[in-house]
Structure 1
């Protein structure tokens, strides 16, 4: 209430917020403070975009009212207020201090196949050293498999799901990729997610861009993906990487194909392969699924998990 720093306290009834003239919501008598508790868009505040910032502009108005005295000790005043937030971020009063969780998750099957997911920098050449993103960012994800002492195989991503904990069956969950390689998130109107074709397709790697998102009320998500290595010439509805092209309203494969291998993405039903389980000799609890697609098409399927943290804009 000592608005002017003169030790003469103003009256709360003489203060209003914004063009709408919102009154104070409470008065804290212990420290002589007046509280205005309103939303950013309330009381006639004005929003502008300035560079990379969202700027909310409002003001507090002091209008002293005559109450029978002939003298006054305060003048009227208008105090401008700006609240600034980075445009690529979450406006939040709850600061988040993300704890680093190692991103890479790798498991091996008897020393022959080793699957992994990595967060990559924009150049796709180096691994990103942080798993913290702002909404609006593109998350570059590279799946890979190491094929030591193994016949030539080609990597595919069967399924990816986002959850709030490292359990791909947890709820709520959001299917990012499903139906043996259909990038379902690319269908969303506000998404720029897509499979990315490298200048030279490396059989042991598969890349895709994921438009950053989070669950409402949460800033940490886990992304679990089922990775598969199949014989090189096995390109069909079970071994594919398909993106929805919104401009043309069609599903297209990452690489050209003589047949419409993405047809089942439109139908939302792709035939599943026969599966049989093998226990891993690596880390405890790791289980691989292996299925026979044909006499010569052997796959190994494994779920690996990524951890993504979304951080609010810094306070200014």
Structure 2
């Protein structure tokens, strides 16, 4: 009896694994080796094959992505026209018919790529889009669209050649602050806020932990604010469709929506850091299941109190009111009406009314601020599959048995039980016959 149970369990596990396998789930990413690139020298990465269908070369001013047409490892070659690079959908630059590979070559700032600035690294992110052409029979679908994230990491503080580095591109917006430069950044963080986390493997119901930060060589204490945040399907926050997450000079309006827990995190870890969380969402009808988030970040002197133009306000559903991270609740009163511009004219006349202005700003006519983009944040297309990727390695897709798999298991159990009953009846019949004899 115990042996039968073991066999039954093994059969169910085998059927579950086979039933849950899908060659169309691309919850992995391709990342250029940060130790493999050099300025002025081409990098030769590993050969592209059906087992490793995507290879990335991070060069001085461009990235080169080579994709094998057997993208899913099934032996069926995909249409070259169905693959594009980045949100701008750049076409491949060359096709190798002998090796069945496509090559995309683009500047680090081209094809809609996004740069993330960390204290030590510049991270350029883009993606390979697979959008299969419609089948000859429009009634059926044989393949699903897929998105493959691409990353290139560059050190910010190292000289990697004997010559001075003089990039011709501007990797981030610089804002003058006293004798230094202000660098604004957005980072996607782990649940405990201790480390950064990958941009893949999210599902509806998860939480995005976002940390905004500013670094500067100035010794003047600064307080950071997130003026606005907009989600869109591309790095262009003005594209359609788009969705406002933070608006009205620091009101986290997404937290006002029912069934959300989006809010700023109180207290701040530092004055130049601001954290907030938002519930994961996707745009209806978007088969790519991705979003970009563009935020407008700005700073004020730390000794300047919050006001309707410089605030961080969350909506407290239990109390049905807006609550600031710091300052009085009056600064959040305009979040409900959406009119937070009443004090703008006065602030334009004298935007820095105390003695800090001369020390803090070299150009009093410009706001110390920057627009920063984070993404693409990728959602798992299959609600039963979560792709978990560790930083610095390839992701692994973890799938759970589907409902169909469960029904197959039930059928196997019923069939084996029937066989067991039949064998038992046969044994009893044989025993009775021998006794009668």
- Please report how far the alpha carbon of residue 136 of structure 1 lies from its aligned counterpart in structure 2 after TM superposition: 0.6
Give the equivalent residue in structure 2 for 1:155: 224
> Is 2:210 aligned against 1:141?
yes
Q: 1:150 to 1:109 in 2, by over 3 A?
A: farther
> Which residues of 2 match residues 89-168 of structure 1 at below 5 A?
94=144, 96-100=146-150, 106-110=172-176, 111-168=180-237
Q: CA–CA distance in 1 between the matches of 2:349 and 2:247?
A: 18
Give the equivalent residue in structure 2 for 1:301: 369
- Please report how far the alpha carbon of residue 132 of structure 1 lies from its aligned counterpart in structure 2 after TM superposition: 3.8
> Which of these residues, 275, 298, 302, is aligned with residue 228 of structure 1?
298
> Which of these residues, 214, 218, 229, is aligned with residue 282 of structure 2?
214
- Please report how far the alpha carbon of residue 249 of structure 1 lies from its aligned counterpart in structure 2 after TM superposition: 1.0
Q: Which runs of 5 or more residues in structure 2 are unaligned?
A: 1-142, 155-170, 362-366, 386-398, 402-437
Q: 1:156 to 1:129 in 2, by over 3 A?
A: same
- Please report how far the alpha carbon of residue 116 of structure 1 lies from its aligned counterpart in structure 2 after TM superposition: 0.2
Q: CA RMSD in A?
A: 2.8
Q: Which has the higher strand share?
A: 1
Q: CA–CA distance in 1 between the matches of 2:217 and 2:321?
A: 38
Give the equivalent residue in structure 2 for 1:33: none
Q: Is the 8 A contact 1:112 1:150 kept in 2?
A: no
TM-score for the superposition, normalised by structure 2: 0.44
Q: CA–CA distance in 2 between the matches of 1:291 and 1:125?
A: 42
- Please report how far the alpha carbon of residue 215 of structure 1 lies from its aligned counterpart in structure 2 after TM superposition: 0.3
Q: Which runs of 5 or more residues in structure 1 are unaligned?
A: 1-92, 275-289
Q: CA–CA distance in 1 between the matches of 2:146 and 2:234?
A: 17
Q: Is the 8 A contact 1:107 1:116 kept in 2?
A: no
Give the equivalent residue in structure 2 for 1:40: none
> Which of these residues, 238, 243, 249, is aligned with residue 309 of structure 2?
238
Q: 1:291 to 1:214 in 2, by over 3 A?
A: farther
SS of 1:208's equivalent in the other structure is strand
* Superimposed CA distance per residue, residues 105-124 of structure 1 (whole angstroms, 9 cap, x where no aligned partner): 85433552000000000111
Q: 1:132 to 1:305 in 2, by over 3 A?
A: farther
Give the equivalent residue in structure 1 for 2:35: none
Q: CA–CA distance in 2 between the matches of 1:118 and 1:140?
A: 8
- Please report how far the alpha carbon of residue 259 of structure 1 lies from its aligned counterpart in structure 2 after TM superposition: 5.2
TM-score for the superposition, normalised by structure 1: 0.60
SS of 1:266's equivalent in the other structure is helix
- Please report how far the alpha carbon of residue 135 of structure 1 lies from its aligned counterpart in structure 2 after TM superposition: 0.9
Q: Is the 8 A contact 1:106 1:116 kept in 2?
A: no
Q: Which has the higher helix share?
A: 2
> Is 2:322 aligned against 1:251?
yes
Q: CA–CA distance in 2 between the matches of 1:174 and 1:130?
A: 19
SS of 1:192's equivalent in the other structure is coil
* Superimposed CA distance per residue, residues 234-289 of structure 1 (whole angstroms, 9 cap, x where no aligned partner): 3111111101111211111112x345110000111111747xxxxxxxxxxxxxxx
Q: CA–CA distance in 2 between the matches of 1:175 and 1:262?
A: 17
Q: Is the 8 A contact 1:156 1:229 kept in 2?
A: yes
Q: 1:133 to 1:291 in 2, by over 3 A?
A: farther
Q: CA–CA distance in 1 between the matches of 2:186 and 2:309?
A: 21
Q: 1:291 to 1:205 in 2, by over 3 A?
A: farther
- Please report how far the alpha carbon of residue 131 of structure 1 lies from its aligned counterpart in structure 2 after TM superposition: 4.0
- Please report how far the alpha carbon of residue 150 of structure 1 lies from its aligned counterpart in structure 2 after TM superposition: 4.5
SS of 1:186's equivalent in the other structure is helix
Q: CA–CA distance in 2 between the matches of 1:247 and 1:167?
A: 35
How many residue pairs get matched? Answer: 208
Q: 1:117 to 1:265 in 2, by over 3 A?
A: same
> Which residues of 2 match residues 1-316 of structure 1 at below 5 A?
94=144, 96-100=146-150, 106-110=172-176, 111-198=180-267, 201-218=269-286, 219-232=289-302, 233-255=304-326, 257-258=327-328, 260-271=330-341, 273=344, 293-296=351-354, 299-307=367-375, 308-313=377-382, 314=385, 316=401
- Please report how far the alpha carbon of residue 153 of structure 1 lies from its aligned counterpart in structure 2 after TM superposition: 1.0
Q: CA–CA distance in 2 between the matches of 1:310 and 1:246?
A: 27
Q: CA–CA distance in 1 between the matches of 2:229 and 2:182?
A: 20
